[in-house]
A and B are shown apart, each in its own frame.
Chain A
């Protein structure tokens, strides 16, 4: 295993099937574009100050807009989205997790089940187990962790990244989704 495929929290070992590394972020953009029914799940950390230079919520909103995909805000994160005038659906992490694992769930709009779920901003260990639940119990759903750390139960995940590289990757994805690229300053 290369160092980049190590889970951020050392003991969170997944098993035989672990996330493929996102080495070319533009591929994520392509996957989102290709997906028939993608969805983005944003945890409460998205609504907090991630670092001096990063507000994760801004990336969530930009991805949501650029890809025109529904965003689920877990915990109390929805209040930050409301303040920014962005419409996110409020649902707990466990509720959206269990619904995504249900092949009969027709989605937030009743139009059908999702085939791609992007995750960011959940506590690492919570995202770890929810992604595991989806890996094992939702055969038709692919998952992508867009957090800064390798999360092995996803279908695809970034490796453990510096803040600068993480931002760079997110900007590349956004560019692929058609948004004008912004400079990365950390």
Chain B
């Protein structure tokens, strides 16, 4: 038996009974749950904010923050603004390093709170519909460790939906504690802020896991299925002859309500349900009838195209001007989340007929409905009636209008100066004035869909719409195949790949995740993914990145998902699902330590993270990361010791965590066999860094898969990829190769001559390969 954290506390001043008189009696009773997990509880169950601080500091000593302030001031309180330039301190006493780390913590708290609140809503909703005793089952017989992150962090084994309530209680408490430390006059050390950032990330992973295992278990999503079906994706996927509902966001119940209502009324196939962003991922995990338009940056182009007859938004990453834009194309909007009410009238308690009539007759631009079943009914009935009336009304202009406007363009450059990717819009407009729309169409290929160009134009030209129109022909033909999110990684898959990953024979796990704030368009994500899949790495993906890598076809018209297996194995491209499914990527790394290496799992965070950091060659890549959630997700991986690379826009996250390969003293571990301090080279070199180009990212990812524990065979394989990629993309041998060769057998045979020459030039000396750990308590035998 064990007591959960949620308990009852009773205090009685005086109690008379047959046994006697009791005074000042206090009883604490937790919720009694059946204990089926016999593993003893480890050192850090439900860790507090500082419980893992020592571990964090070990990482932060090696990976030092490099702060990149956006601006010189702090404006968070009325003491300010305070000028923090160089070594100045603000009125509260905080300096620039403290302020930047505080901002990073704020971002990660926002991200973690978002996932935890998402999980809370899902769990409450599913409990209300399916009961608190609904079992958690995310992989049937293929998965024993159903919640590796939760087990590791909290030290409990959740078995039913109700168990996740306790888990989320913990997460909410921690996020509140962390957020409080960002108040003026609290934390004063940048490194302690950074430790709290790691804590926020860890809590975020727990929140994501709770959310995804709840929805997988109850909604019948694919359960760790490597052969999850292929779904349609692209701007042109919808049969626009049918009424079309567009769902946007991350939290799937309202979309499920739509599918359920269509099913109940026999209307499946008569209404198109298409999605953008992670709700699209999750609704295709729920129903094969749903389709995906594209990633987050596809919102505005789709809404303005008028192809959606009705829009349902839930939460996260939804454009704040959705209602404004939807009104321009006469598309009603249903908001379905307390977090995103859009100023709309709450019609949750209004009879559906009344709401439907008001929407169809355009008496209201949209409504707020906080009941997913009612959303389903109102959305479907409204779209059936309104679609014929709308007639696909759109505000994407005709080509003649663009040419006409282009002739009035003064090339003032305001659009370009507003564009995150500095796209040459003025030059494209100049060409358009002469009737050549190709330059505008080319911009669409790398447009992130922010429409800042629209806002900036002094002539009020809808430049984003011009760009969309110019590329419309190609855009509308876009149809791709993406493998539906499979959820977790099976235990048996971990058993099969654990050894080759830890020994280095599978050269690495590349997790390509995150949003679509790409510097050069989503095709780069597909190129990076295929580079590593071809090289027999394991490529794992989720969220918008999983969509972007589907949006490229080869000469035979096949997407990556049609060419590569969905199994967690060498050469696989494994789509785990939506943002909250990122927990399964962390879970896979944790399960390697637990299932393959038999390390204790229960509340044993530090040891498992130490194992992963030194042995599991996994690296995250968030090439288009933009959000606070992405920051939180990354920070969860940092605490586990997994490095993360972001694209160039990720440099705006305000700090990197960088190792210094020129400081050999930073790269020593303890040999767990002897306690000796052993130099192991900069592996992995960074915990968080931004790459400027895809070429740099590819080389960096290959390098950052090296780990101190690699066997010589494994290291030789990893070096082969690193050297080969460096030579191809950088045009030379890496200048740091001597830092990664520990002995002669590490040297790839096919490159032996040239590498030996470099080693001689560098005065290289052989190093031994230890049983690496950063934790003195894991040393088995000490000399002397």
Contact = CB atoms under 8 A, between A and B. Distances in A.
Given A16-B85, A92-B700, A136-B86, A44 B68 contact: no
Interface in B696-744: 696, 699-700, 729-732, 735
A87 to B, nearest CB: 11
B70 A79 contact: no
B66 A101 contact: yes
B692 A122 contact: yes
B689 A129 contact: no
A135 B651 contact: no
Interface in B638-658: 648-649, 651-652, 654, 656, 658
B417 A76 contact: no
Contacts of A10: 414, 417-418, 456
Contacts of A102: 660
Interface string A115-146: 00000001111100110110111010000000
A139 B651 CA distance: 22
Interface string A61-104: 00000000000001110111011000001101111011101100
Contacts of B64: 98
Contacts of B71: 13-15, 132
A130 B656 CA distance: 11
Contact of A74 (B72, B418, B692): B692
B420 A98 contact: no
A110 B221 CA distance: 58
A90 B732 contact: yes
Contacts of A59: none
B128 interface: no
A20 to B, nearest CB: 14
Nearest to A132: B69
A89 B730 CA distance: 11
B10 to A, nearest CB: 55
Given A9-B422, A83-B731, A92-B700, A15 B68 contact: no
Given A9-B422, A10-B417, A126 B732 contact: no
Contacts of B72: 14-17, 135-136
A125 B648 contact: yes
Interface string B681-692: 000001001111
Interface in A6-36: 8-11, 13-17
Contact of B68 (A8, A13, A129): A129
Given A10-B456, A75-B696, A92 B691 contact: yes
Contacts of A9: 417-418, 420, 422
Interface in B67-100: 67-73, 83-87, 96-97
Interface of A: 8-11, 13-17, 43-44, 74-76, 78-80, 82-83, 89-90, 92-95, 97-99, 101-102, 105, 122-126, 129-130, 132-133, 135-137, 139
Interface of B: 64, 66-73, 83-87, 96-97, 414, 417-418, 420, 422, 456, 519, 648-649, 651-652, 654, 656, 658, 660, 662, 686, 689-693, 695-696, 699-700, 729-732, 735
Given A105-B662, A125-B420, 20 more contacts: A9-B422, A16-B73, A16-B83, A17-B86, A74-B696, A76-B693, A76-B729, A76-B730, A78-B732, A92-B700, A94-B66, A97-B68, A99-B660, A101-B66, A102-B660, A129-B652, A130-B68, A135-B86, A136-B69, A139-B87
